[in-house]
Amino acid sequence: MSNIRPSSVKIRKLTERKPQRRPTLRARIARGARAAKRRSYPVRERYYRLTRALRSRGTAGWLISTEATYGGYVEGVPVRRTGRCDPKSTAALRRATMAGGDRMLRHAYAPAYARRLRPFVPEHTARELAREPTRGPSRAEPAGGCRRRTTVLEIGVLHGTGLAIWCDLFPDARVVGLDIDLDPYYANVNRLHSLGAFRRNQPEVYLFDQLEPERYDIAEIIGHDTVQVCIDDGHHSNRAVLNTMHAVLPFLDQQFVYFVEDNPGVHRRIRAQFPQFAVESAGELTMVSRDADRSTLWQVSCLSAL
């Protein structure tokens, strides 16, 4: 009897299981549209690659074209190095893969990037830039004496597609990439050069673990510069994002924009921990900047608390 019971219970459970509801016509159409969009990405990337020369630097179209030019979307890159504090199990990490080159077209962050980067993009037009002779990295201080040069910091380098975009967009800036594993970048850097990347500017790359930022001397990396543009496209967990923000905070310029990618909920934590900043959230992208009014209020309240 005891042998029969569990299987009979199982049979009853199986027969009692409610029939699966068929997805509605609307849901099926939406699923089909999403699949068609996914299939169309390679064609769209090719189109953007071919039309890059027609686009004005810094526009959403230019950002998509430039990302496509430097390799576009890549997926299935195995995770080879992780931090000591990564909460994922070893088995999960062994199975995990990474994707890159997906911010402008796949995630459709290009319009938000174009809008938020506009105040930081130098005033040259695309035609002026095309006339510029090819040269190595510009390390000259910007005109105006004590003004510090623009520093663009990207956390999460992978194949370096992002760094290639930033070097084209900010030919006079210092472009710095941080990652826990720089091997995929070193393995791809020659390909990036052959695709035309880094002709006007060269990035610097350093090892960094967002889950243990205190192990790395970020002050030494940033030096006397200040960060105007920061892009967090690394580990994507709340802890990693907030750790990194706390580590980078002392080096942020008076005017800055800080992008956090692929995390739909972290904007709430950022708002709570950094009330002095203006936080804007758009889907999985969060954009942080200095809110002039709130920043002054915060400084006043900190001073009066002393």
Ligand X SMILES: C[S@@+](CC[C@H](N)C(=O)[O-])C[C@H]1O[C@@H](n2cnc3c(N)ncnc32)[C@H](O)[C@@H]1O
- Residues in contact with ligand X by CB under 6 A are 83, 98-101, 156-159, 161-162, 179-181, 208-211, 233-235, 240
Q: Rounded to the nearest whole angstrom, what is the least distance from the CB of residue 144 to ligand X in the complex? A: 31
Q: Which is nearer to ligand X, 113 or 277 (CB)?
A: 113
Q: Which is nearer to ligand X, 54 or 99 (CB)?
A: 99
Contact present, 211 and 83 (Cβ < 8 Å): yes
Q: Which is nearer to ligand X, 83 or 275 (CB)?
A: 83
Q: Rounded to the nearest whole angstrom, what is the least distance from the CB of residue 9 to ligand X in the complex? A: 45
Q: Rounded to the nearest whole angstrom, what is the least distance from the CB of residue 288 to ligand X in the complex? A: 18
Q: Rounded to the nearest whole angstrom, what is the least distance from the CB of residue 104 to ligand X in the complex? A: 9
Residue 58 burial by Cβ neighbours in a 10 Å radius (0-12, 13-18, 19+): buried
Q: Which is nearer to ligand X, 171 or 234 (CB)?
A: 234
Q: Rounded to the nearest whole angstrom, what is the least distance from the CB of residue 273 to ligand X in the complex? A: 19
Nearest residue relative to ligand X (C-beta): 100
> Following DSSP, what letter does each residue of 38-87 receive, concatenated?
HHHHHHHHHHHHHTGGGSPTTSHHHHHHHHHHTT--EEEEEP----TT--
Q: Which is nearer to ligand X, 161 or 281 (CB)?
A: 161
Q: Which is nearer to ligand X, 83 or 196 (CB)?
A: 83
Helical packing angle, 183-194 and 161-169, nearest 10°? 50
Q: What does DSSP assign to residue 262? A: S
Enumerate residues 6+ apart whose C-beta is below 8 A from 254. Answer: 226, 290
Max intra-chain CA distance, the chain: 91
Q: Rounded to the nearest whole angstrom, what is the least distance from the CB of residue 129 to ligand X in the complex? A: 21
CA 274 to CA 277: how far, in whole Å? 6
CA 88 to CA 93: how far, in whole Å? 6
